[in-house]
Structure 1
Amino acid sequence: MDPHLLRTFVAVTRLGSFSAAARELGYTQSAVSQHIAALEADLRAPLLHRRPVGPTEAGARLLDHAAPILLRLDAARADVARVLGEPPGRLTVGASPLAAPDRLATALARLRRSLPGLEVTLRVAGRAATVAAVAAGDLTLGLVDGVAAPSDPLRLADPGPLTTVAVAEETLVVLLPPGHPLGGRAGLRLGDLVSARWIDAPETAAPLADLRAATESDGVRAGIRYEGTDTATLLALVAGGHGLAVLPASAARESAGVVAVAVLAPRLVHRTELVHGHLAGPAATALADALRHGT
Structure 2
Amino acid sequence: MDPHLLRTFVAVARLASFSAAARELGYTQSAVSQHIASLEQDLGAALLTRRPVAPTAAGDRLLEHAAPLLLRLDAARADVARIAAAPPHGLTLAASPTALHARVPAALPSVGVTVRVLAREDVPAAVATGGADVGLVDGLAAPSDPLRLPDVAPLTTRRVSEEPVGVLLPASHPLAGRDGLRLADLVDARWIDAPDTALPLPQVRAAEGGQGFRAALRYEGTDVRTLAGLVAAGHGLALLPWSVGARMGVGTCVVALVEPWVVHRVECVFAGVLSGAGEALVGALG
What range is the shorter-chain TM-score in?
Answer: over 0.9
The answer to whether the Cα contact below 8 Å between 2:105 and 2:285 also exists between their aligned partners in 1 is no
Indicate the SS of the match to 2:98: coil
Q: Which moved more, 1:235-244 or 1:77-86?
A: 77-86
**5 Å matches for 1:35-114?**
35-85=35-85, 88-101=88-101, 103-108=103-108, 111-112=109-110
In 1, distance between residues paired with 2:276 and 2:270?
14
**5 Å matches for 1:163-182?**
163-182=156-175
The answer to whether the Cα contact below 8 Å between 1:40 and 1:47 also exists between their aligned partners in 2 is yes
The answer to whether the Cα contact below 8 Å between 2:170 and 2:232 also exists between their aligned partners in 1 is yes
In 1, distance between residues paired with 2:15 and 2:228?
32
Please name the residue that 1:133 is paired with: 126
Please name the residue that 1:115 is paired with: none
In 2, distance between residues paired with 1:129 and 1:251?
21
**How many residues were matched structurally?**
285
Q: Residue 87 of structure 1: CA displacement?
A: 5.0
The answer to whether the Cα contact below 8 Å between 2:102 and 2:244 also exists between their aligned partners in 1 is no
Please name the residue that 1:291 is paired with: 285
The answer to whether the Cα contact below 8 Å between 1:83 and 1:280 also exists between their aligned partners in 2 is no
| Structure 2 letter corresponding to 1:137 | G
In 2, distance between residues paired with 1:23 and 1:32?
10
The C-alpha deviation readout for 1:130-169, integer Å capped at 9, x for no partner, is 1111011111111111111111111110011100111011
Indicate yes or no: 2:157 matched with 1:160.
Answer: no
Q: Residue 175 of structure 1: CA displacement?
A: 1.0
Indicate the SS of the match to 1:145: strand
Please name the residue that 1:17 is paired with: 17
Q: 2:253 aligns with which of 251, 259, 277?
A: 259
Q: Residue 121 of structure 1: CA displacement?
A: 1.4
Please name the residue that 1:5 is paired with: 5
CA RMSD of superposed structures (Å):
1.7
Q: Which stretches in structure 2 are left out of the alignment for 5+ residues?
A: none
The C-alpha deviation readout for 1:188-222, integer Å capped at 9, x for no partner, is 11111111121111111111111111100421211
The C-alpha deviation readout for 1:50-101, integer Å capped at 9, x for no partner, is 3333222211111111111111111111111121356542222211111144
Q: Residue 105 of structure 1: CA displacement?
A: 3.9
Q: 2:196 aligns with which of 203, 212, 221?
A: 203
Q: Residue 244 of structure 1: CA displacement?
A: 1.0
Please name the residue that 1:275 is paired with: 269
The answer to whether the Cα contact below 8 Å between 2:231 and 2:252 also exists between their aligned partners in 1 is yes
Indicate the SS of the match to 1:99: helix
In 1, distance between residues paired with 2:13 and 2:49?
10
In 1, distance between residues paired with 2:17 and 2:252?
44
The answer to whether the Cα contact below 8 Å between 1:134 and 1:277 also exists between their aligned partners in 2 is yes
The C-alpha deviation readout for 1:167-188, integer Å capped at 9, x for no partner, is 0112111111232111111111
TM-score normalised by the chain length of structure 2: 0.94
The answer to whether the Cα contact below 8 Å between 1:96 and 1:127 also exists between their aligned partners in 2 is yes
In 2, distance between residues paired with 1:284 and 1:141?
7
| Structure 2 letter corresponding to 1:268 | V
The answer to whether the Cα contact below 8 Å between 1:203 and 1:228 also exists between their aligned partners in 2 is yes
The C-alpha deviation readout for 1:240-265, integer Å capped at 9, x for no partner, is 11111100112221232212111001
Indicate the SS of the match to 2:97: coil
Same amino acid, percent of matched pairs: 63
In 1, distance between residues paired with 2:26 and 2:105?
38
| Structure 2 letter corresponding to 1:173 | G
| Structure 1 letter corresponding to 2:75 | A
- CA distance 1:34–1:255, shift in 2 (3 Å): farther
- CA distance 1:244–1:282, shift in 2 (3 Å): same
Q: Residue 272 of structure 1: CA displacement?
A: 0.6
Q: 2:211 aligns with which of 210, 213, 218?
A: 218
The answer to whether the Cα contact below 8 Å between 1:94 and 1:139 also exists between their aligned partners in 2 is yes
The answer to whether the Cα contact below 8 Å between 1:85 and 1:279 also exists between their aligned partners in 2 is no
Q: Which stretches in structure 1 are left out of the alignment for 5+ residues?
A: 113-117
TM-score normalised by the chain length of structure 1: 0.91
